[in-house]
Structure 1
Amino acid sequence: MARLMDTSSPAVPASVPPLEPVGLHIRRTVSLAFPVVLARAGMVGIFTADTIMVGHYGSAELAYLALGIAIQSIFLLMSIGLLQGTMILASQAYGASDWREAGAAWRAGLYHAVALGVVFGIICVLGEPLLLLIGQPAELAAGGGGVSRAFGLSMPALLIYICSSYFLESIQRPRVGMYIMFGANFLNVGLNMVLIYGLPGFVEPMGAVGAAAATAVTRWAIALTVLAYILTLPWRDGEDPFGVRFRAARWWLEARRLGGKIGRRFRQQGIGMAVLMALDAAAFQTLILMAGYLGDTELAAYHIVVNAMILILMMAIGCSSATSVRVGNAIGRNDPLNLRRAGWVGIGLGAALVTPFAALAMLVPGFIAGIYTGEAAVIEVASVTFLVAGLILTVDAAVATTIGALRGAGDVWPTMLRFIGSFYLIGIPSGYLLAFEVGLGAPGLLMGLGAAIYVAFVLLVFRFRVVSHLPLKRA
Structure 2
Amino acid sequence: MARPLDPVSAPAAPASVWPLDSFALHIKRTLTLAFPVVLARAGMVGIFTADTIMVGHYGAGELAFLALGIAIQSVFLLMSIGLLQGTMILASQAYGASDFRAAGAAWRAGLYHAVLLGIVFGIICALGEPLLLAIGQSPELAAGGGGVSLAFGLSMPGLLIYICSSYFLESIQRPRVGMYIMAAANLLNIALNGFFIYGLAGWSEPMGAVGAAVATALTRWFFAAAILAYIFSMVWREGEDPFGLRVKLLRWWAEARRLGASTGRRLRAQGTGMAVMMALDAAAFQTLILMAGYLGEKELAAYHVVVNAMILVLMMAIGCSSATSVRVGNAIGRDDAPNMRRAGWVGIGLGACFVLPFALLALILPGGVAALYTSDPAVIEIARTTFLVAGIVLVVDGAVATTIGALRGAGDVWPTMIRFIGSFWLVGVPTGYVMAFEMGFGAPGLLMGLGSAIYIAFALLIFRFRKVAHMPLKRV
User: TM class by shorter-chain length?
Assistant: over 0.9
Paired with 2:6 and 2:118, the residues of 1 have a C-alpha distance of: 36
> Displacement of 1:103 after TM fit?
0.3
Q: Does 1:194 align with 2:195?
A: yes
Hey, what does 1:159 align to over in structure 2? Answer: 160
Residues 145-224 of structure 1 aligned to structure 2 (within 5 Å):
145-224=146-225
Hey, what does 2:13 align to over in structure 1? Answer: 13
Paired with 2:60 and 2:315, the residues of 1 have a C-alpha distance of: 25
> Displacement of 1:353 after TM fit?
1.1
Paired with 2:261 and 2:251, the residues of 1 have a C-alpha distance of: 11
Paired with 1:246 and 1:80, the residues of 2 have a C-alpha distance of: 26
Q: Is the 8 A contact 1:231 1:246 kept in 2?
A: no
Q: Does 1:107 align with 2:116?
A: no
> Displacement of 1:110 after TM fit?
0.1
How far does the alpha carbon of each residue in 1:261-285 deviate from its partner, in whole angstroms, 9 at most, with x for none?
Answer: 2110000000000000000000110
> Displacement of 1:258 after TM fit?
5.4
Paired with 1:273 and 1:88, the residues of 2 have a C-alpha distance of: 11
- Higher mean Cα deviation, 65-74 or 239-248? 239-248
Residues 63-82 of structure 1 aligned to structure 2 (within 5 Å):
63-82=64-83
Q: Relative to 1, partners in 2 of residues 1:112 and 1:258: Cα closer, same or farther, differing over 3 Å?
A: farther
Q: Relative to 1, partners in 2 of residues 1:402 and 1:14: Cα closer, same or farther, differing over 3 Å?
A: closer
Hey, what does 1:242 align to over in structure 2? Answer: 243
Q: Is the 8 A contact 1:279 1:420 kept in 2?
A: yes
Q: Relative to 1, partners in 2 of residues 1:326 and 1:189: Cα closer, same or farther, differing over 3 Å?
A: same
Q: Does 1:29 align with 2:30?
A: yes
Hey, what does 2:85 align to over in structure 1? Answer: 84
Paired with 1:80 and 1:251, the residues of 2 have a C-alpha distance of: 23
> Displacement of 1:6 after TM fit?
4.0
Hey, what does 2:459 align to over in structure 1? Answer: 458
**SS at 1:454's partner residue?**
helix
Hey, what does 2:429 align to over in structure 1? Answer: 428
Q: Normalising by structure 2, what TM-score?
A: 0.98
> Displacement of 1:10 after TM fit?
4.1
- Higher mean Cα deviation, 8-17 or 28-37? 8-17
- Letter of the structure 2 residue corresponding to residue 8 of structure 1: P
- Letter of the structure 2 residue corresponding to residue 324 of structure 1: S
> Displacement of 1:297 after TM fit?
0.2
Gaps of 5+ in 1: none
> Displacement of 1:341 after TM fit?
0.3
Q: Is the 8 A contact 1:316 1:353 kept in 2?
A: yes
- Higher mean Cα deviation, 47-56 or 12-21? 12-21
Hey, what does 2:355 align to over in structure 1? Answer: 354
Residues 44-443 of structure 1 aligned to structure 2 (within 5 Å):
44-248=45-249, 250-257=251-258, 259-443=260-444
Query: What's the % identity of the aligned pairs?
Result: 75
Q: Normalising by structure 1, what TM-score?
A: 0.98
Q: Is the 8 A contact 1:81 1:273 kept in 2?
A: yes
**SS at 1:402's partner residue?**
helix
**SS at 2:205's partner residue?**
coil
Paired with 1:198 and 1:399, the residues of 2 have a C-alpha distance of: 41
Paired with 2:138 and 2:269, the residues of 1 have a C-alpha distance of: 40
**SS at 1:241's partner residue?**
coil
> Displacement of 1:35 after TM fit?
0.2
> Displacement of 1:244 after TM fit?
1.6
Paired with 1:215 and 1:124, the residues of 2 have a C-alpha distance of: 15
- Letter of the structure 2 residue corresponding to residue 9 of structure 1: V
- Letter of the structure 1 residue corresponding to residue 101 of structure 2: R
Paired with 2:166 and 2:19, the residues of 1 have a C-alpha distance of: 31
- Letter of the structure 2 residue corresponding to residue 101 of structure 1: A
Paired with 2:403 and 2:376, the residues of 1 have a C-alpha distance of: 38
How far does the alpha carbon of each residue in 1:415-474 deviate from its partner, in whole angstroms, 9 at most, with x for none?
Answer: 000000000000000000000000000000000000000000000000000001000000
How far does the alpha carbon of each residue in 1:107-129 deviate from its partner, in whole angstroms, 9 at most, with x for none?
Answer: 00000000000000000011000
- Letter of the structure 1 residue corresponding to residue 410 of structure 2: A
The size of the alignment, in residue pairs, is: 474
> Displacement of 1:147 after TM fit?
0.2
Paired with 1:192 and 1:86, the residues of 2 have a C-alpha distance of: 32
Q: Is the 8 A contact 1:112 1:258 kept in 2?
A: no
Paired with 2:405 and 2:273, the residues of 1 have a C-alpha distance of: 14
Paired with 1:258 and 1:284, the residues of 2 have a C-alpha distance of: 34
Paired with 1:258 and 1:13, the residues of 2 have a C-alpha distance of: 28
How far does the alpha carbon of each residue in 1:115-171 deviate from its partner, in whole angstroms, 9 at most, with x for none?
Answer: 000000000011000000111000000000000000000000000000000000000
**SS at 1:232's partner residue?**
helix
Paired with 2:15 and 2:387, the residues of 1 have a C-alpha distance of: 51
- Letter of the structure 1 residue corresponding to residue 90 of structure 2: L
Paired with 1:5 and 1:345, the residues of 2 have a C-alpha distance of: 19
Q: Is the 8 A contact 1:13 1:333 kept in 2?
A: yes
Hey, what does 2:450 align to over in structure 1? Answer: 449
